[in-house]
Amino acid sequence: MELPVVKRVAIIGIGLIGSSLARAAREYGAAGSVALYDGSADVRARAREIGLGDVYDDVSDCVRDADIVILATPVGVMGALVQTFASAMKADAILTDVGSVKKAVVDAALESVPDHIHFIPGHPIAGTEKSGPDAGFASLFRDRWCILTPATELADDAGQAALKRLSDFWTVIGSQVQVMDVERHDRVLAITSHLPHLIAFNIVGTAHDLESVDQGDVIKFSAGGFRDFTRIAASDPIMWRDVFLNNKDAVLEMLGRFNEDLAALQRAIRWGEGEQLRSFFERTRGIRQSIIDAGQDTDADNFGRDTKK
């Protein structure tokens, strides 16, 4: 495909994902130029200092000439934010996002989206526990999936061309693109991302609150499993608050099923049913190998952790 995919991309929100997008768009040639806006004056100032792109103090000015506008803010503010700048977007431009929840974003923003632009929400399955404009890096999206969930049926040629243009943008910066229904996305991510984060927050919180265990011992004797939970639990609290509140139906459904399975394991441990435990663990072990086979993780010893440190 011809590069750049678009002349100009505007990114609203300059955290981990937004700053990584800015770096990737330039480094891999996905966009000719990058416009940036963040609600925090300090973040805008820092983005200017490190040269992430053309930083604007007004969101409408930021999006005015952009071919693609990407919302990289917490999902809870996206609907209100779109109302402030959507009318400034040029005809045939694409509005998308990177939120971990899709239906709530569509419901909140769709009425504010003018007919002359294409609204194609998205979700790159990539990230770290870090945040802020300095946390981003261009290779964050390489070999990761990006799910696109068109808000309306893209039946005409212009809509299909917009979908291809956005898909090409993500492909150039290294992602594999999958188009998915909004509701299906939210149910899939509830079990693969949202519930694991909720469990991690809860386990780390439980360890913190244990009166019978000295906090120094929790830190000193943290095994690999607990350390991995603390990494997940260090994620942006505002972002995850909004995820759970905006995908509550799917999360509560998956949490109910998880609690049923957990109760079954509890009974097996109480009654010494070793074969049931072994069978369950064997089945779940296979999921790990499937993830490795799909290229979504490494089978390096100790999950690639440097044991010499």
Domains of the chain: 6-180 (3.40.50.720), 184-272 (1.10.3660.10)
Largest Cα–Cα distance of the chain, in whole Å? 66
Query: 115-119: long-range contacts (C-beta < 8 A, 24 or more apart)?
Result: 116/89, 116/91, 116/92, 117/86, 117/89, 117/90, 117/91, 117/92, 117/93, 118/92, 118/93, 118/94, 118/154, 118/158, 118/159, 118/162, 118/163, 119/94, 119/95, 119/150, 119/151, 119/152
With beta carbons less than 8 A apart as the criterion, state whether 119 and 92 touch.
no
Residue 244's nearest CA partner among 206, 208, 203, 199 is 199
- Residue owning tokens 């990230």: 127
Residue 159 burial (CB count, 10 A):
15
Environment class of 24 (CB within 10 Å of its CB; exposed 0-12, middle 13-18, buried 19+): buried
pTM above 0.75, yes or no: yes
What's the CA angle centered on 199, arms 198 and 201, to 5 degrees?
A: 65
**Residue type for 305, please?**
R
Structure tokens at 167: 């898909």
* Beta pairing partners, 179: 148
Q: Which helix (H) or strand (E) holds 248?
A: helix 248-270
pLDDT, tens digit only, all 309 positions of the chain = 889 999 999 999 999 999 999 999 999 999 999 999 999 999 999 999 999 999 999 999 999 999 999 999 999 999 999 999 999 999 999 999 999 999 999 999 988 999 999 999 999 999 887 889 999 999 999 999 999 999 877 767 888 999 999 999 999 999 999 999 999 999 999 999 999 999 999 998 888 887 566 667 777 777 677 888 888 888 889 889 999 999 999 999 999 999 999 999 999 999 999 999 999 999 888 888 888 887 777 676 554 444 443
Q: What is the pLDDT of residue 178?
A: 96
With beta carbons less than 8 A apart as the criterion, state whether 191 and 254 touch.
yes
Q: What is the pLDDT of residue 297?
A: 73
Residue positions counted in the chain: 309
Phi then psi for 45, rounded to 5 degrees? Answer: -65, -40
Q: What is the pLDDT of residue 214?
A: 65
